[in-house]
Structure 1
Amino acid sequence: MKIAIIGYGKMGKIIDEISQSRGHEVVARLKETPTTENLNNADVAIEFSNPEVAFENIKTCLENKIPVICGTTGWLDKKPEIERLALENNTPFLYGSNFSLGVNLFFALNENLAKLMSNINEYSVQLEEIHHIHKKDAPSGTAISIAEGIIENSKYEAWKLDETRDKELGIFAIREDEVPGTHSVFYRSEVDEIEIKHTAFNRNGFALGAVIAAEWIVDKKGIFSMKDVLGL
């Protein structure tokens, strides 16, 4: 495949290395806004930029009928518009709050545990996420996805940054050193605690998942997620 990487920071460079190691050609390494010219007829774009520019980056790619794999978080208020544009242009779009294969398996585990616990009133739930001090959004997109998985399968109606209260599911967002990403879900009662946890050791897992998603999405049409890629 010919891949355009949009957002050439730490993640972009790892995506570049993994793409080439899997036999793909990186035809664009963009720190600037993509255009018809600098996208260089890519087969797919992998977008890991900043919340402020993600919408325009994705929009340009879709208008040029280039499929997009997007891992940028913090812009999701505009996601419905992007999905509409993808369908209008008959061009596939896949957003992932986290492309790690392990995290996506964790999402499925989290939803199943929420179903099991939904009628057991002795337990309350608390989420915690820890990331490096450079991360711009809080809570993380991954934590929001975890919270949404619980809300869909429990009594909770919304999430908030803070401690869990009544029907509001709490998320503690901690920024610490150079932590790539740690996410924990705690079910606590007066007598015990159940915890599920995912710890990323580095960014390579995120990058590999994004490249696998890019390989999967070519020649498809529609709106997708990593659940589709992994068959979950």
Structure 2
Amino acid sequence: MKITLLGYGKMGRIIEKLATEDGHQVVLRVDEHNREKISADDLRDADVAIDFSRPDAAIANIDLALEAGVPIVVGTTGWHNKLEEVRKRVVETNGTLFYATNFSIGVNLFFATANYLAARMKDEDYTPSIEETHHAEKLDAPSGTAITLEEGVRGAMDREAVHITSYREDKVPGTHVLRFSSAIDTIELTHTAHSREGFARGAITAAEWVRNRSGVFTMTDMLSPA
């Protein structure tokens, strides 16, 4: 599989390392130093593009991939308020978009467990809350993962909102805590990432899965039984 990397920071480099070890080839690396020189023609040699860039660059990168006719996997967060507009363009161009707030398989199992637990808590006297901690370089707060977690818990418990507290510290890949508190006890569900490798591995798996499909997909589609 030939890959274009849109965003060549820490995540892009980890993806390149793991993808190369798997026998894939990175044919183009795009970052802030060469982005203005890149056109859709430059992407057409790739089988898939993987975007871990910046919130202010993600939509332009999606449009570039759609113009090139190349499926794109997007791990950048902070742009999902424009998702419906982007989804419309994907349909209009018969393109392919795979997006996720978190590509870690463990995190997506965490989401499923959290939603199950929240549904069981719906009629009980518990108040849910979320804490998320990331490295100081992360630009969006709350994290996309925390937002996805909040949406699932809120929907399962039929609440208006679940409070999210965000922390930014040095050298923290990502920790999310879902807490259910009552006067009697507190229940906590925690996911702690030890490195960025889980995110990168999930993105590569998504790229392999989506390359011959058309439409808009998420981790739920990939992980659902056939």
Asked if Structure 1 and Structure 2 have the same fold, meaning a TM-score greater than 0.5 normalized by the shorter chain, the answer is yes
2:175 counterpart residue number = 182
1:123 counterpart residue number = 126
1:145 counterpart residue number = 148
Superposition deviation, residue 16 in structure 1: 0.4
- 2:158 aligned to 135, 150, 155, which one? 155
Q: Which aligned segments of 4 or more residues in structure 1 are displaced greater than 4 angstroms?
A: none
Aligned residues of 1:28 and 1:40 also touching (Cα < 8 A): no
Superposition deviation, residue 66 in structure 1: 0.6
- 1:102 aligned to 93, 103, 106, which one? 106
Structure 2 regions of 5+ residues with no counterpart? none
What is the number of equivalent residue pairs in this alignment? 221
1:2 aligns with 2:2: yes
Structure 1 regions of 5+ residues with no counterpart? 158-167
SS of the equivalent of 1:37 reads helix
Could you tell me how far apart the structure 2 residues matched to 1:4 and 1:152 are?
A: 36
Greater share of helix = 2
Give a deviation string over 1:166-193, Cα, whole Å, max 9, x none: xx31001011111000001000111111
Superposition deviation, residue 40 in structure 1: 4.7
SS of the equivalent of 2:70 reads coil
Could you tell me how far apart the structure 1 residues matched to 2:128 and 2:142 are?
A: 16
Superposition deviation, residue 37 in structure 1: 3.2
SS of the equivalent of 1:152 reads helix
Could you tell me how far apart the structure 2 residues matched to 1:151 and 1:211 are?
A: 30
Give a deviation string over 1:201-227, Cα, whole Å, max 9, x none: 000000000000000001111111011
Residue pairs, 1:36-75, within 5 angstroms: 36-75=40-79
Aligned residues of 1:104 and 1:226 also touching (Cα < 8 A): yes
Superposition RMSD on alpha carbons, in Å?
1.1
Aligned residues of 2:180 and 2:186 also touching (Cα < 8 A): yes
Aligned residues of 1:7 and 1:48 also touching (Cα < 8 A): yes
Aligned residues of 2:43 and 2:68 also touching (Cα < 8 A): no
Q: Which amino acid aligns with 1:144?
A: I
- 1:173 aligned to 146, 150, 166, which one? 166
Could you tell me how far apart the structure 1 residues matched to 2:158 and 2:219 are?
A: 26
Q: Which amino acid aligns with 2:21?
A: S
Q: Sequence identity of aligned pairs in percent? A: 46
Aligned residues of 1:27 and 1:40 also touching (Cα < 8 A): no
